[in-house]
Structure 1
Amino acid sequence: MSRRLVLLLALTCAVGVGNIYFPQAISPLIAAGLHESPDSASLVVTATQIGYTAGIFLLVPLGDRLPHRPFLVTLLALAGVGLLAAGCAPALPALVAAGAFVGVTTVAAQLVAPLAAGLVAADRRGAVMGTLLSGSIGGMLLARTFSGTLGEWLGWRAPYLVAAVVVLLLATVLAHALPVGTPSSRQPYRALLAEPLRLLRGEPELRRSCLYQATVFAGFSAVWTCLTFLLTGPAYGLGAQAVGMLALVGAATMVCTPFAGRLVDRIGPDPVNLVCMLGVLGSAAVLAVGARGGALGLAALVLGTLLLDIAMQCGMVANQARVFALRADARSRLNTAYMTCAYLGGSGGSWVGVRVYGQAGWRGVCALVAFLAALALARHVVALYGRTPRCDESPATSRH
């Protein structure tokens, strides 16, 4: 792949992922604008994430069956239409439905990753995955900042309408610049849908990668969904724009993920996963200090969210490198299984996080993050040290 193509694919990831995350920063504005409670307005975030999970499960397997260029362009065009509908929604139910439709159709990043993995050598796969993930992170961060700032200035509808224009422009560019590609499968759609479940049953490495990302991403989503309530609540009294500005701190992650990808290429994904899980546990402890409010609490939120972002995203590089190495002819279906589990975890984390925040406050959310990270870490320790070598197998080859 040329560097220009890598950058274009990274931009596609940024736009696709940004559509999922920008509603998080304007949830209080939606609540005020539509005269709904904050809990009700948070359904927009949850519906978008659930729609994204459904899109991964229902549409991403077709990446092994259909030419990538027309498929990506069509999905982006539909996402643009959904964003326009959301920006014009007259009430919360219509906005929730439009958000779910946007989630289903904005799965471009999950089609780009398998496409790129098939165009590079195995010893460069981690580095390219890290670059694409940097694009996704940039989209996530800029989307929160963009929506929080624009929403405070022009109202909650403006971010949806501007995002629609950006998505439709990108679809036009991709229609001319993206290579068509050759599908790797001729299986019918029903078989493609069933294949990720078969892969989950048959590939232990896929199952543990899914568990790692689902648990860590659940904690990540809980933090970012509830962070809006904390910053706009009595402890800090800030506006929605503050959430977007805080998200910019995570820009350092864009530098870390390519480095993590090169590290995965050199030493493998397991050591990288171990460090990332310990990082998530550490971030939970730091974030808990944020409940105190004031300058110290805000500093803890900045440091804790940065550590959480880096750990979650670098862990994703390691997990995807492990998953894409399993079967070259089924990368879209492998990615379907992996990302469906990840976003089910994220959707569940957002939903549970709001409930925990209502009952136990910010410290309860931090305890939830620590618990989920501990689950992933326990499974990883079993994977690394819990297998007994056979008598014909050396200790080095017995480890995953």
Structure 2
Amino acid sequence: MTQTGRPSRRLTLVLAVVCGVAVGNVYFPQALTPVAAASLHVPADAAALAVTATQVGYTVGIVLLAPLSDRLPNRSLLVALLVLSGAGLVAAGCAPALPVLVVAGGLVGLTSVAAQVVGPLAASLTAADRQGSVIGILLSGSTGGMLLARAFSGTLGQWLGWRAPYLVAAAATLLLAAVVRLAVPPGVPPAREPYRTLLTEPLRLLRAEPSLRHASLNQAAVFGGFSAAWTGLAFLLTGPSYRLGAASVGTFALVGAATMCCTPFVGRLVDRRGPDGVNLVCIVGVLASAALLVAGTGGGAVGLAALTFGMLLLDVAMQSGMVANQARVYALRPNARGRLKTAYMTCAYSGGSAGSWLGAQLWGRAGWPGVCALLALLAGLALTGHLLAVHRRSSGAAEAPAPANGPA
């Protein structure tokens, strides 16, 4: 750690790339769903199970593996997860049928929790008043991985088939495992509790920490709407309204590139102003994005413009809210950041997995307007929960007794 209370620039860059590659491995299959469905001769909603399995696997990995960041040297854990993820990607790329692809996707998701190990590691190397900015940089890496993965998989999938992106991602992940082995310090785990205790601790923390519950449920609702929107968008753009190819679906994801620039700024804003105000603006932004996106139902240039600005707003709002929520969570108990992150991300990705599944179901029954209605509903629930939580915190502060040496 440097004297400024932050990891070195080189280490921060490596950790941001780890986040980008790991998160990208979870998201790039979204752009491949229509191509994979046609190649495997299955319905589109059935092929979407591979995406859902990856996200469910990621959620399970957060529960079972991410708490180990408080128990094991982080470098060894990161390398092991990246190697296993690379193996899962190879299996997915060679899958002969949909069931094998679904299982392999679940393995990829399970081991892609390397991104969740990075956060507690970086936080342990960073002073408390600088954590927001470092979290913002790491989320910028995650966002870049998410966006570039969709663009790369959509383009490569259209040119070389849906298997090629899996195999290229496997090579990149295995190469990164070697880089991490050389560049990341081994670290000293902050906890010595047995694994069983580490598994049960996140649930106990959820019961004990109201702020953790607030951040977790908030992100679960917003991320559920985000996942539903991206799942439905692939069907909308390749359907009769727009008739675009898989490459266009991936390239469309690049509209969210502005998020990479926004999250470091949002992190600094959280450091100065606190997370509540930032979160409020972000949730309102998600709600507004639903109104923009529904205007893209009919196709044409106007519809495409509405989709572009709507998805841009949704990406920026969701990721910026993630910065604010994680800063709040990490500040609660510095010696339990891995378990706090486990509780938070389990809730968030449970919401994302449910949103991905609901998005596919609503697409088949109500089309794009149904997906947008789900996004608006979930944003409304997040907004209600946020306002109630802020009111409870302000009421608790107002009712707290004055200190003995303070004013009467």
Band of TM-score, shorter chain = over 0.9
- Whether 1:142 aligns to 2:151 is no
> What is aligned with 1:74?
80
* Cα distance in 2 between the residues matched to 1:380 and 1:12: 31
> What is aligned with 1:390?
399
* Cα distance in 2 between the residues matched to 1:393 and 1:360: 55
Match of 2:226 among 207, 213, 220: 220
Query: C-alpha deviations, 1:149-190, integer Å up to 9, x for none?
Result: 000010000000000000000001111111000011111111
Matches within 5 A, 1:270-289: 270-289=276-295
Q: Give the SS at the match of 2:243.
A: coil
> What is aligned with 1:361?
367
Structure 1 residue 392 displacement after superposition: 2.9
- Whether 1:256 aligns to 2:265 is no
Structure 1 residue 384 displacement after superposition: 2.0
* Cα distance in 1 between the residues matched to 2:333 and 2:188: 17
* Cα distance in 1 between the residues matched to 2:113 and 2:400: 46
Q: Report the TM-score when normalising by structure 1.
A: 0.97
Distance 1:183 1:232, change over 3 A: same
* Cα distance in 2 between the residues matched to 1:344 and 1:384: 24
Match of 2:101 among 92, 95, 105: 95
Structure 1 residue 242 displacement after superposition: 1.1
Q: Give the SS at the match of 1:90.
A: coil
* Cα distance in 2 between the residues matched to 1:207 and 1:147: 35
> What is aligned with 1:322?
328
> What is aligned with 1:62?
68
> What is aligned with 2:217?
211
Structure 1 residue 208 displacement after superposition: 0.3
Matches within 5 A, 1:333-348: 333-348=339-354
Moved more, 309-318 or 362-371: 362-371
* Cα distance in 2 between the residues matched to 1:385 and 1:17: 34
Structure 1 residue 364 displacement after superposition: 1.1
Query: C-alpha deviations, 1:205-244, integer Å up to 9, x for none?
Result: 0000001100000000000011010001000011111111
- Whether 1:122 aligns to 2:128 is yes
* Cα distance in 2 between the residues matched to 1:390 and 1:123: 27
> What is aligned with 2:298?
292
Structure 1 residue 139 displacement after superposition: 0.2
Amino acid of the structure 2 residue aligned with 1:48: T
Q: Report the TM-score when normalising by structure 2.
A: 0.95
Unaligned runs of 5+ in 1: 395-400
Match of 1:106 among 104, 112, 127: 112
Structure 1 residue 71 displacement after superposition: 0.9
> What is aligned with 1:398?
none
> What is aligned with 2:243?
237
> What is aligned with 1:194?
200
> What is aligned with 1:397?
none
Q: Give the SS at the match of 1:368.
A: helix
Query: C-alpha deviations, 1:114-148, integer Å up to 9, x for none?
Result: 11011011111000000000000000000000000
Structure 1 residue 106 displacement after superposition: 1.1
* Cα distance in 2 between the residues matched to 1:391 and 1:290: 50
Query: C-alpha deviations, 1:303-329, integer Å up to 9, x for none?
Result: 000000000000000000000000011
* Cα distance in 2 between the residues matched to 1:46 and 1:90: 19
Q: Give the SS at the match of 2:65.
A: helix
Q: Give the SS at the match of 2:125.
A: coil
Amino acid of the structure 2 residue aligned with 1:76: L
- Provide the identity percentage: 67
* Cα distance in 2 between the residues matched to 1:240 and 1:391: 57
Structure 1 residue 275 displacement after superposition: 0.2
Q: Give the SS at the match of 1:290.
A: coil
Match of 1:29 among 4, 24, 35: 35
* Cα distance in 2 between the residues matched to 1:267 and 1:111: 27
Structure 1 residue 391 displacement after superposition: 6.4
Distance 1:279 1:63, change over 3 A: same
Amino acid of the structure 2 residue aligned with 1:392: P
* Cα distance in 1 between the residues matched to 2:89 and 2:152: 15
Structure 1 residue 356 displacement after superposition: 1.3
Query: C-alpha deviations, 1:295-351, integer Å up to 9, x for none?
Result: 000000000000000000000000000000000110000000000000000000011
- Whether 1:39 aligns to 2:45 is yes
Q: Give the SS at the match of 1:237.
A: coil
* Cα distance in 1 between the residues matched to 2:314 and 2:301: 20
Structure 1 residue 393 displacement after superposition: 5.5
